[in-house]
Structure 1
Amino acid sequence: MLNTFTPLQRIMFKVMLALVPGIAAHAFAFGPAILLQLTWCSLVAIGLEAIMLAWRNMPLKPFLTDGSALLTAWLFALSLPPNAPWWLSMVGLFFAIVVTKQLYGGLGNNLFNPAMVGFAVCMVSFPAQMSQWLSPLALQTHASGDVTLLHMLWHPAGLDGMTSATPLDHMKTSLHGGLEMAKALPAATLQQGWPWISLGYLVGGAWLIHQRVISWHIPVAVLGGFCTLASLLWLGDSSRFAPPWFHLQFGAVVLGAFFIATDPVSAPSTRKGKLIFAGLIGLLSYLIRVFGGYPDGVAFAVLLMNLCAPLLDHYTQPAVFGHRSRGQT
């Protein structure tokens, strides 16, 4: 079937296929609301893409079927609470598809990762709605058993009993409340579905490397930069800082390393540039997560480094034969 696709369609299809293990783990641990969120975001993204293409007098079929809008929708949906209200998805995708992608000239011209711009706008503008994550199925009370899948998307008032803080939120709140890591960590790890989700994304990301859809440079550098700083601080003061394996199990660092930071449009193209770019994403993600005002910093770290991608490409281009490389005198 893939032989009938264009090269771009094959890449987009493989990336979405690689997301399936993480999505399946999410649905198994937290219920099927994530599937409806993915469907809703996909429809909204395709609709916004079609409107903008028509407004720009561009042909609809080649751009609507290239898979880029769908992939943006999926990555954005996976960064949202599965029970986020319908209008929140529309706001985020408006900034992702219309502002970040189409107003910059379409795929290949955007400076920033579209899905992460949508997420950042929602996180900064609507922090309350962005913090309402579903509890694992094992912790959801029977009192909420009458909440349907459609209700989860449209966020009725009765859904509050099914939501809880994420492990990262819980740990940060506990530490700010004066608890030491030895007491904060066990309580934060009760939501056992998250490690399986991260493992699913790790498996999918490794498959993408095997398929040569992405190179190893960015994922390895993101995880390496993140874990290096996490290990140093944990070894220096384990009463205040969580071990690196806790951070890898919870939050978006694995998803970000394999599926977000690797966006070829908004990342550097040289090997050295990719390593610097990704290593700094890992460091910034940890610093924002631990010392910043948000429980996870992957999106903000990616956007900050998107700004630096052209500069990194400029200074890391290999020298042309017979010429000095940039920076040499």
Structure 2
Amino acid sequence: MRLNHLARMATCVAMLVLLAGCAPKSYSVRHPVPSENLVFGTAPPATAITLVDARAPSDRVFSSGVLPASLTVEGAPLDPSGYLARNLQAELVSRGLQTQVGNAGDALPKLEMTTFRVQNHRANGFSPFVTLTFLGGDLVTPAGKQRLGVFVKRGKVPVWSFDEVIEPTFNQPLSLATKELAAKIAARLHGARSSDADVDRLTAKIATRGDDSYLDVYALGFTNNPKAVAPLAGLARDPDEYVRLAAISSLGTLGANDQLDLLKSIYRDGNLWQDRAMALKAIGDLDSTEADAFLAEQQAALQAKAGDKEADWTLQIVRLYL
């Protein structure tokens, strides 16, 4: 019996070692590169945005998961509110909106950041290292509050070292989250959108397909231009996983309420969790009475499955909006 017990313990230890796969305790990430060649067609007056860190005490761990590791940027621990303020400002300015984003004061417009974190997962030593990036808050203006949410899912199997996961599972999702939030703020504060020519350029580029085509699909959503809805709807069932997820997400970013039935069908019939999860995220983005009712209905059903990994992950997305 004792030998069997020791054998089981040895097996468990071996499995843990295999799962970790020499995973580091810290990753060094970079600041995002602001968007290029995607200037909004409006030039509103200079705007100052106050960013308030309104995260609950229980939601202040920025990096967590089955392989816990801290994140640093420029040699220092990543400060979520400072990181977001700096890069949100850089993105808005790069797109032609003269904007200052600061962490002091209470002036409007104000972004109350309620969620900003990265959660990782890895099923075993041969499976992808996956990150789920969540960003959310309330944009407060004299007209009231508007809830904004962002969710990005990425994964990479490290072959030689865990350094290979930093760009696809940390840098790119953090960049996309910042860019999506910037596009949503620009739309709500200024009605800002990119030109039809930008939509045509990106659509033509996506048709040629490269390794990073999914980034161009996300960029279609960041145009805030309704002309991008049709090509994105066509990509929402694309065989390429990350192109497909980017298209589904971007329909929400554009507020494509005419695509609600498509998003519902993806949520109900999608074979993969990530497709269903991204569809629910996009439905939350729509911010309509029908979309909110559907989201609340799914929240109740998911809460009944508490403890199930995928249900718990999906509930985290729903909570960005409800």
Same fold? TM cut 0.5: no
Name whichever structure is richer in helix by fraction.
1
Normalised TM-score (structure 1): 0.28
Name whichever structure is richer in strand by fraction.
2
